[in-house]
Chains A and B, each alone.
Chain A
Amino acid sequence: MTKLSKKRKQFIVVSLVIPMLLLIGFVVVPGLDLIRMSFTNWDGYSQDSQFIGFRNYITMFQNKDLWQSLRNNAIYFVVHLFMIPLELAFAVLLTGKLRAAKFYKTMVFMPYIINGVAIAYAFSYFFSPVNGAFDAILTGLHLENWIRSWLSDPKIVNYVLAFVSIWRFSGYHVILFMAALQSIPADIAEAARVDGANTWHLFKYIQVPSIMLMVDFVLFDNIRGALQVFDIPFVMTSGGPGYASSTFTLYTIKTAFTFSNFGLASTMAVAIMVLIVVIYLIQNKLIHGVILREGKK
């Protein structure tokens, strides 16, 4: 073995071992400990805890406030899901020869790089019932009848929060789609045009299939993001009124820190991990197996 190949081997081993150690230390071990804690009644500060079997899991399933929080998560999921085609369309538009495309790209991506808590604060003032900018805009447009209690009406509060979430995260998805679209070799599109393909054909038969990996990622990110949404409802409504705008993560944190029930909170954290995987698998099956019919060629 030459000196160079020996060094290469060493480099590869070190490059693998260190990340693996970090992964085990900071992900695998805490993950396993989380599962262990989910079977205990640990209160978060006592030195000991008791093993209580599946009691936390039973309590979790019987908790109506938690179910309501999960339903609220579903609103974020659905609203974001409907936005994905639009985000894709935006990405296609911005990838094409659009005047001032760079400016639009910056503008679209800007909300994502602004601090989430700052955005939430800004929007709580925007939707404020007193001196709120949104109500002022509606008044200016003589649409006073449209004014609602944006942050306190349980019927609409989650949609308002989901709108803020879209404002923040859509740009991120657009940029991801654009990156994927730009990686498609230009000669494929040129060849298709020579064969008579129009813009729609290009989109349907070349662009979308070529970026399917990215679409998958965005869909997964949507599930993960929707189920773990925290900062926007936490800052804008504290999950209220009551639990009307609470989310699964918000409720988990409340369980851990307000009600000192880390055991039950760990159970919820395990449940959310399982839920993300299950929903992703179902969504994947639906999109690839039913909508795109990939397995029936």
Chain B
Amino acid sequence: MKRRFITAILAGVMTASLLAGCGNAKTDGSSNEAKGTGELSGTITFAIWDNNLNEFIEQNDMIGKFQEQYPDIDVEVEKIKDDSEYWNAMKMRASANQLPDVMFNKPFTLSRFKDYLVDLSGTEAAANNELAQGYAVDGRVLGLPMTSGYEYVYYWKDMFAEAGVEVPTTWSELEDAAKKLQDYYGKDNKDFMAIACGLKDEWPDYPYMEFMPALESGNGQNWNDMAKTDEPFAEGTDIYRAYHKVNDLFTSGVLGKDPLGLGNDQVTSIFATKGAAMIALGDWGLQNIQNGAEDISQLGTFYLPTRDSESDPYNVIVQGDSFMGVTTHSKNQEAAIAFVEWFYSDAWYPEYINFVSSASSMSNFPKEKDPILAEADKLCPDMVLVMYDGGGDDFSAIQNVTTFDYKKLGAEMLTEGFDLDAALEELNASWTNARATLGIQ
């Protein structure tokens, strides 16, 4: 009898745990029990993908420091492998009402998650953030950029000097410099790349394929404007001109003998050991290059010159990166907002921003650029900053229907028999159909 009773209890516990696992976890034990004194309490989850941030959080006891100010709020940091995996996880969790309390976004994911993010307009952190307002969706600040992201072309000054090449300031100069470098070093080293670009991974062409349409005429809203026309890939448009430039550069042989066979890690290592003369990456790339290089005294940077002539404006992309936001699924929204405020306060942010190579996004905590990155500013005093927008709802909807994948398109340019004009024509046709199907005007 006793045994049967124990068996029944065990079976009951198992069934309950099974059902609890399947159910919609509404009782997560982290309810925000606001105390009579008005103090905040509860547990908040903070989901990240950035290895540098994770390392810094662990080394500097972020939770301990936060709890000095908010002793009753516990923070659970959830590290997800990389950003691709992060978006996959967040999409699934959004549909299951299981988003973390605090999450990050990129410019191109803000509009996707807009219904799940709380307006942070009223926070002090938003007021001090230089970029947040520029990325507001329908007037709501849904995320606070943790860093300002700039894109650079890293190059070896000694290699340029030996080959007699000057830092280019226009697109044609870039093409000429790349050809000259390829001819000069390529004759002795068949593996040499004037411009390193690991197209096996596809995404490393983003400085060209993602940003160049916006740089072409300095329109950071380029993707959103594309959603308003039926034939955005037609001759004469920004994207048409930009992709023709990229196509000409990529197919001129300056990416080396087999760029489609190499990934970004491989080409970054090759560049770090001077097997390549240039590589276009964000500010985050500096740490990777430094890790692979023995000596960086000859490492320099300049901004990707996409303009046709020196009389045109020298457009340079700037974008907010890692937008920290509070989700509507949070049971402890006040605690989560308090965490965001704390994160961007004197207690945490200045140390963090000095740890990473990226620029500060906070006006109250300016940061001097790394000397290597600052060289690009010195070389380009007349630059015009273009605030990049990753594309809103309409663009995303059309992109999904047409399966327009600009990063893949860039890699396809290197394949045999690829016809850019035919590809753009096909995109125009599917774009028109998609707009009609989706009823986008």
CB distance from A254 to the nearest CB of B (A): 8
| Contact between B415 and A43, CB atoms less than 8 A apart | no
CB distance from B256 to the nearest CB of A (A): 8
- Chain A neighbourhood of B415, CB < 8 A: 152, 154, 241-242, 244
* Contact among A46, A130, A149 with B270 in the assembled complex (CB-CB below 8 Å): A130
A-B contact count (CB 8 A): 94
Which residue on B lies nearest to A151, using beta carbons? B261
| Contact between A127 and B261, CB atoms less than 8 A apart | yes
Instruction: Answer whether A45 and B261 are a contact pair too, CB < 8 Å, given A240-B202, A242-B411, A242-B415.
Output: no
Q: Is B118 among interface residues, defined by CB-CB distance under 8 A?
A: no
B interface footprint on A120-135 (CB within 8 Å = 1, 0 otherwise): 0000110111110000
* Contact among A44, A130, A154, A257 with B262 in the assembled complex (CB-CB below 8 Å): A130
Q: Is A65 among interface residues, defined by CB-CB distance under 8 A?
A: yes
Which residue on A lies nearest to B190, using beta carbons? A130
- Chain A neighbourhood of B363, CB < 8 A: none
| Contact between B411 and A128, CB atoms less than 8 A apart | no
Q: Is B95 among interface residues, defined by CB-CB distance under 8 A?
A: yes
Q: Is A25 among interface residues, defined by CB-CB distance under 8 A?
A: yes
B interface footprint on A144-174 (CB within 8 Å = 1, 0 otherwise): 0000011110100000000000000000000
Q: Is A47 among interface residues, defined by CB-CB distance under 8 A?
A: yes
CB distance from B15 to the nearest CB of A (A): 9
Which residue on B lies nearest to A130, using beta carbons? B191
Within B86-138, the residues touching A (CB, 8 Å) are 87-88, 90-92, 94-95, 112-113, 115-116
Which residue on A lies nearest to B97, using beta carbons? A47
Which residue on B lies nearest to A59, using beta carbons? B401
CB distance from B198 to the nearest CB of A (A): 11
- Chain A neighbourhood of B202, CB < 8 A: 238, 240
Interface residue stretch chosen among A185-193, A258-266, A277-285 = A258-266
| Contact between A152 and B258, CB atoms less than 8 A apart | yes
What is the total number of residues of chain A having a CB less than 8 Å from a CB of chain B?
33
Q: Is B200 among interface residues, defined by CB-CB distance under 8 A?
A: yes
- Chain A neighbourhood of B259, CB < 8 A: 152
CA distance A127 to B116 in the complex (A): 44
| Contact between A257 and B200, CB atoms less than 8 A apart | no
Q: Is B201 among interface residues, defined by CB-CB distance under 8 A?
A: yes
| Contact between A45 and B113, CB atoms less than 8 A apart | yes
CA distance A237 to B200 in the complex (A): 6
Within A26-71, the residues touching B (CB, 8 Å) are 43-47, 65
CA distance A6 to B68 in the complex (A): 62
| Contact between B257 and A129, CB atoms less than 8 A apart | yes
| Contact between A240 and B266, CB atoms less than 8 A apart | no
Q: Is B416 among interface residues, defined by CB-CB distance under 8 A?
A: yes
Q: Is B263 among interface residues, defined by CB-CB distance under 8 A?
A: yes
- Chain B neighbourhood of A125, CB < 8 A: 266
| Contact between A242 and B94, CB atoms less than 8 A apart | no
- Chain A neighbourhood of B62, CB < 8 A: none
Which residue on A lies nearest to B93, using beta carbons? A45
Q: Is B399 among interface residues, defined by CB-CB distance under 8 A?
A: yes
CA distance A238 to B84 in the complex (A): 13
CB distance from A130 to the nearest CB of B (A): 5
| Contact between A241 and B260, CB atoms less than 8 A apart | yes
| Contact between A152 and B260, CB atoms less than 8 A apart | yes
- Chain A neighbourhood of B143, CB < 8 A: none
CB distance from B400 to the nearest CB of A (A): 4
| Contact between B95 and A47, CB atoms less than 8 A apart | yes
Instruction: Answer whether A257 and B266 are a contact pair too, CB < 8 Å, given A129-B257, A242-B408.
Output: no
| Contact between A45 and B411, CB atoms less than 8 A apart | no
CA distance A124 to B90 in the complex (A): 30
CA distance A129 to B262 in the complex (A): 7
CA distance A151 to B199 in the complex (A): 11
CA distance A257 to B95 in the complex (A): 13
Within B401-432, the residues touching A (CB, 8 Å) are 401, 403, 405, 408, 411-412, 414-416, 418
Q: Is B149 among interface residues, defined by CB-CB distance under 8 A?
A: no
CA distance A98 to B74 in the complex (A): 63
| Contact between A65 and B403, CB atoms less than 8 A apart | yes
Q: Is B275 among interface residues, defined by CB-CB distance under 8 A?
A: yes
Instruction: Answer whether A45 and B112 are a contact pair too, CB < 8 Å, given A128-B266, A241-B415.
Output: yes
Which residue on B lies nearest to A235, using beta carbons? B263
CA distance A237 to B261 in the complex (A): 8
| Contact between A240 and B95, CB atoms less than 8 A apart | no
Q: Is B396 among interface residues, defined by CB-CB distance under 8 A?
A: yes
CB distance from A4 to the nearest CB of B (A): 15
CA distance A149 to B199 in the complex (A): 13
| Contact between B94 and A45, CB atoms less than 8 A apart | yes
Instruction: Answer whether A43 and B400 are a contact pair too, CB < 8 Å, given A130-B191, A240-B202, A241-B412.
Output: yes
CA distance A238 to B263 in the complex (A): 10
Instruction: Answer whether A149 and B399 are a contact pair too, CB < 8 Å, given A25-B22, A240-B202, A240-B411.
Output: no
- Chain A neighbourhood of B91, CB < 8 A: 44-45, 257, 260
| Contact between A129 and B258, CB atoms less than 8 A apart | yes
| Contact between B261 and A129, CB atoms less than 8 A apart | yes
Within A240-256, the residues touching B (CB, 8 Å) are 240-244, 255
Which residue on A lies nearest to B96, using beta carbons? A45
A interface footprint on B166-208 (CB within 8 Å = 1, 0 otherwise): 0000000000000000000000000100000001111000000
CA distance A21 to B275 in the complex (A): 59
| Contact between B399 and A240, CB atoms less than 8 A apart | no
12 pairs, CB–CB < 8 Å, chain A vs chain B: A43-B400, A45-B94, A45-B95, A46-B115, A125-B266, A128-B266, A129-B191, A240-B199, A241-B199, A242-B415, A257-B87, A259-B399
Per CB-CB distance, the 10 closest pairs between chain A and chain B, nearest first, are A152-B260, A129-B258, A45-B94, A129-B261, A242-B412, A259-B400, A152-B261, A130-B191, A151-B261, A241-B415
19 additional contacts, CB 8 Å, given A152-B259, A257-B87?
A: A25-B22, A44-B95, A45-B116, A125-B266, A129-B191, A129-B257, A130-B262, A149-B260, A151-B200, A238-B200, A238-B202, A240-B199, A240-B202, A240-B260, A241-B411, A241-B412, A242-B415, A244-B415, A259-B399
B-side residues, CB < 8 A to A, are: 18, 22, 84, 87-88, 90-92, 94-95, 112-113, 115-116, 191, 199-202, 256-263, 266, 270, 275, 396, 399-401, 403, 405, 408, 411-412, 414-416, 418
A-side residues, CB < 8 A to B, are: 21, 25, 43-47, 65, 124-125, 127-131, 149-152, 154, 237-238, 240-244, 255, 257-261
